[in-house]
């Protein structure tokens, strides 16, 4: 378990409450800033778990069922996202440790405040640095023997686990064993075989960072014409029969300026998605927008409806803003 990542997550929960885990965009930005030096696949796996609401399922489970639920979620994460199963299990262990204190290393002193947490994070980083040095030393030793590396490459497909079987044809004798050199080479070979998967995880992590550049905090909805002229300004009570184009305005903050493509999903009270012939699959419409650096900025995508009206009936609608596969914001508007 990544104790450094665990300490950072526990500090966030202690400072903002457990509800902060429900905001994937906020947690993504926070983890990107605070855990920049941590292994990217571990950070990405944690963000995916939070975005999928795994923490809610763990919290809702009875204590006697928690182990089974945790195993089920790990298998789901492995199946749905294609992540390494060991990484999935470690991520769910980390979540349980943050939520319930399960699986915490006994030698780790309790964190009692932000100052103590910062000291603990520094201590854990030093431990990790020392372990990285040890791993580097072992890897360098393994690399010195080019002959053994070639042998490992040739037998990699046949070797499963740590047991090497050497068959001697004469007499039908089987010798089981492994030298220190073999052990080091097998470890290096395992890293080599996993490099493709780690590369894919890193690419996914880099793509998901695009979502963190925009933190949407509020939404207001108005009634507009086809040319985006306001009929009823955002925030004013709306009557379903008067609505032509339902047009949301999102309030956001961003540390950078970047062009991004967004998808808007308008969900009827019945649960169906409001869509048209040109709507993207699973959404009402899409739009491009130049996100600007700053705080408390506004983003008003095109509205959705018809110039003659009649697209909406009375009730409470849900409007969601999506980007790069993540839901940045979800809010409701009631049409009288």
The pLDDT tens digits for 179-202 are 445 555 555 555 555 555 555 555
Tell me how far apart the terminal alpha carbons of the chain are, to the nearest angstrom: 52
Residues 237 and 221 grouped into a single domain:
yes
Residues 256 and 288 grouped into a single domain:
yes
Residues 181 and 229 grouped into a single domain:
no
| Mean pLDDT along residues 280-295 | 92
- Among 131, 157, 183, the domain boundary falls at 131
Q: For residue 163, give its domain range.
A: 144-209
pLDDT tens digit string along 23-56? 888 888 888 888 888 888 888 888 889 988 999 9
> Is 138 a domain residue?
no
296: left (phi over 0), alpha (psi -120 to 50) or beta: left
- Among 193, 209, 225, the domain boundary falls at 209
pLDDT class of 121 with cuts at 50, 70, 90:
low
Structural domain total, the chain? 3
pLDDT class of 178 with cuts at 50, 70, 90:
very low
> Is 137 a domain residue?
no
> Is 231 a domain residue?
yes
Residues 221 and 330 grouped into a single domain:
yes
- Among 192, 209, 226, the domain boundary falls at 209
**Helix, coil or strand: residue 88:** helix
> Is 267 a domain residue?
yes
H-assigned helices in the chain: 3-16, 24-34, 40-51, 54-60, 66-81, 85-100, 114-143, 146-155, 180-208
Range scoring the smallest mean pLDDT among 87-91, 107-111, 125-129, 304-308: 107-111
> Is 235 a domain residue?
yes
Residues 171 and 238 grouped into a single domain:
no
> Is 306 a domain residue?
yes
């Amino acid at each position: 378990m990544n104790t450094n990542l665990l300490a950072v997550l526990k500090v966030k929960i202690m400072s903002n409450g457990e509800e902060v885990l429900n905001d994937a965009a906020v947690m993504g930005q926070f983890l990107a800033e605070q855990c920049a030096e941590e292994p990217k696949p571990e950070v990405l796996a944690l963000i995916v778990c939070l975005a999928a609401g795994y923490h809610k399922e763990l919290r809702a489970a009875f204590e006697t069922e928690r182990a089974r639920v945790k195993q089920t979620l790990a298998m789901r994460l492995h199946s749905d996202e294609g992540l390494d199963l060991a990484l999935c299990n470690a991520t769910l262990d980390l979540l349980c440790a943050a939520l319930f204190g399960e699986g915490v290393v006994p030698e780790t002193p309790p964190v009692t405040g932000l100052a103590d947490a910062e000291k603990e994070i520094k201590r854990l980083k030093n431990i990790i640095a020392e372990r990285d040095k040890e791993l580097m030393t072992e890897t360098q030793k393994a690399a010195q023997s080019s002959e053994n590396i070639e042998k490992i490459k040739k037998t990699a497909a046949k070797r499963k686990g740590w047991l090497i079987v050497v068959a001697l044809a004469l007499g039908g004798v089987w010798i089981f064993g492994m030298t220190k050199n073999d052990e080091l080479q097998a470890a290096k070979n395992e890293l080599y075989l996993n490099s493709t998967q780690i590369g894919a995880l890193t690419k996914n992590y880099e793509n998901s960072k695009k979502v963190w550049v925009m933190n949407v905090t509020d939404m207001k909805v108005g009634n507009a014409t086809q040319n985006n002229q306001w009929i009823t300004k955002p925030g004013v009570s709306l009557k379903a029969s008067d609505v032509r184009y339902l047009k949301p305005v999102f309030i956001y903050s961003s540390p950078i300026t970047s062009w991004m493509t967004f998808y808007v999903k308008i969900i009827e009270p019945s649960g169906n998605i409001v869509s048209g012939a040109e709507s993207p699959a699973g959404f009402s419409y899409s739009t491009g927008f130049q996100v600007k650096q700053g705080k408390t900025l506004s983003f008003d995508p095109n509205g959705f409806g018809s110039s003659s009206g009649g697209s909406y009936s009375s009730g409470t609608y849900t409007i969601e803003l999506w980007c790069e596969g993540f839901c940045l914001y979800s809010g409701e508007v009631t049409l009288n």
